Amino acid sequence: DRPPVTVIGLGAMGRALAGAFLDNGHPTTVWNRTAGKGGELTERGATEAATVTEAIAASRIVVLCVLDYDAVRDVLGAPGAQGASGAPGADGAVGADGADGVASVADILDILDTPGTPGTPGTPGTSGTVTGVLAGRTLVNLTNGTPRQARELARWVSEQGADYLDGGIMAVPPMIGTPGSLVLCSGSPEAFTAHERTLSATGTVSYLGEDAGRASLYDIALLSAMYGMFGGFFHAIAMVGSEKVPATEFTPLVVSWLNAMITGLPAMAKAYDTDDHSAAASNLRMQADAFVNLLDASGDQGVSAELLEPMGTLLHRGVAANLGGGDISALIDLLRTDLAGA
């Protein structure tokens, strides 16, 4: 009774997604630009389509997971495509092999519990490379991209008479299909309602409303937080490494320190939402002064301060903007170039 699913793109992530649909009993059709990547999946019962059009025609729900939006446009023949569809390409598989270390999805979901609103149905459109066959189907694009790219693609897909869902995968391939995998999803509410059960084969799916760009916005924001954390960790390890302290010896301290600091984020978020940064246990001016020590010590230890310098600059901008007496959460507004001069 499980509906057929098509998966386009058999990189590390596409293969994991197709495997999850197979595991859940969905008749699964796959297609990849470079043929021959469906081997293990076809052994498990997947059908490898000869063309992308044939792949799309096989299911009402078409999951697309390729490298980037240039690849998406190549596959769909959508406007703005760069490079010829079908050209052989390098396989830069980036699948990680570890699935541990990811925070509780339930915690993230508590925050993401955003109800959807009704949307407008797709309008009939023209036919092009694959466009004729797209009509009446739902395209679920799980390729990483920007909110603007997602919204532009949503518009184009809708012009083809198809529904569009965009997704951000907050997981690495080995996690797909487990509850620890979080897929952020936004776009057509009707399509989400129709396909929620199917999509949940990939893990925990969270719907963020009808704006196709919202899932990408959250995805990019979460990745930004992650890279900030990685940057801090890399600098810390380089610092102690400069005196031959093994990273494995120091890292448990980093983990407990970051866990302690993470508990302060909700208060900062509240300060940002209410625009009241007055409650500061450690005020911004003090932190700007102390931050100089981080930069000086890095120089002394022979460690590049390139990851830290932007925070130092921002702290000093905060002092110059007379925010020194409050909490450093006041710095968030300084990042908003759209507010500059407002």
Question: What are the φ and ψ backbone dihedral angles of 129, each rounded to 5 degrees?
Answer: -55, -60
The alpha-helical segments, DSSP class H, found in the chain are: 12-23, 39-43, 52-57, 69-76, 105-112, 131-134, 147-159, 189-199, 214-241, 247-262, 265-274, 284-301, 309-320, 331-334
Q: What angle do CA 278, 280, 286 make, to 5 degrees?
A: 115
Residue 13 in the binding site for ligand NDP (CB under 6 A): yes
* Phi/psi at 170 (5° precision): -100, 70
For the segment 268-327, give every residue that binds ligand NDP (CB under 6 A). none
Please, which residue, 30 or 331, has the CB nearer to ligand NDP? Answer: 30
* 223 scored as a contact of ligand NDP (CB under 6 A): no
CB 8 within 8 A of CB 66: yes
- CB nearer to ligand NDP: give 84 or 342: 84
Residue 57 or 222 with smaller CB distance to ligand NDP: 222
Which range touches ligand NDP (CB under 6 A), out of 29-37, 195-203, 204-212, 295-303? 29-37
For the chain, the C-alpha Rg in angstroms (whole number) is 23
Of the two residues 93 and 245, which places its CB atom closer to ligand NDP in the complex?
Answer: 93
CB of 113 to ligand NDP, least distance (A): 22
Note the maximum CA span of the chain: 66
Tell me the residue number closest to ligand NDP, measured at CB: 11
Q: How many positions of this chain bind ligand NDP (CB under 6 A)?
A: 31
Residue nearer to ligand NDP on the CB measure, 112 or 239: 112
293-300 long-range Cβ contacts below 8 angstroms, 24+ apart: 297/239, 298/235, 298/239
In sequence order, the 6+-apart residues with CB closer than 8 A to the CB of 247 are 237, 240, 241
Q: How far apart are CA 253 and CA 236, in angstroms?
A: 11
Identity of the residue, 83 or 228, whose beta carbon is nearer to ligand NDP in the bound complex: 83
75: buried, middle or exposed (CB in 10 Å: 19+, 13-18, 0-12)? Answer: buried
Residue 30: strand pairing partners = 7, 48
Tell me, residue by residue from 70 to 109, as one string, x for binding to ligand NDP by CB under 6 A and - for no binding: xx--xx-------x-----x-xxxxxx-------------
Residue 173 DSSP one-character state:
G
268 is written with which tokens?
A: 């900062």
What is the torsional sign of CA 225, 226, 231, 233?
Answer: positive
> Residue 52 or residue 284: which is nearer to ligand NDP going by CB?
52
Per CB under 6 A, the list member of 5, 6, 19, 33 interacting with ligand NDP is 33
Q: How far is the CB of 273 from ligand NDP (least distance, A)?
A: 29
Q: Which tokens sit at 207?
A: 């719907």
12 binds ligand NDP (CB under 6 A): yes
Listed ranges 68-76, 226-234, 278-286, 324-332: which one lies at the site for ligand NDP (CB under 6 A): 68-76
Q: Which of residues 36-55 bind ligand NDP (CB under 6 A)?
A: 37
> Which parts of 157-216 interact with ligand NDP (CB under 6 A)?
169, 172-173
Q: Out of 5, 55, 66, 271, which residue is the one contacting ligand NDP (CB under 6 A)?
A: 66
Q: Which stretch binds ligand NDP (CB under 6 A): 8-16, 113-121, 235-243, 250-258?
A: 8-16
> Please, which residue, 68 or 276, has the CB nearer to ligand NDP?
68
**Residue 297 CB, nearest distance to ligand NDP (Å)?**
34
Residues of this chain that interact with ligand NDP (CB under 6 A) are 9-14, 32-34, 37, 65-68, 70-71, 74-75, 83, 89, 91-96, 143-144, 169, 172-173
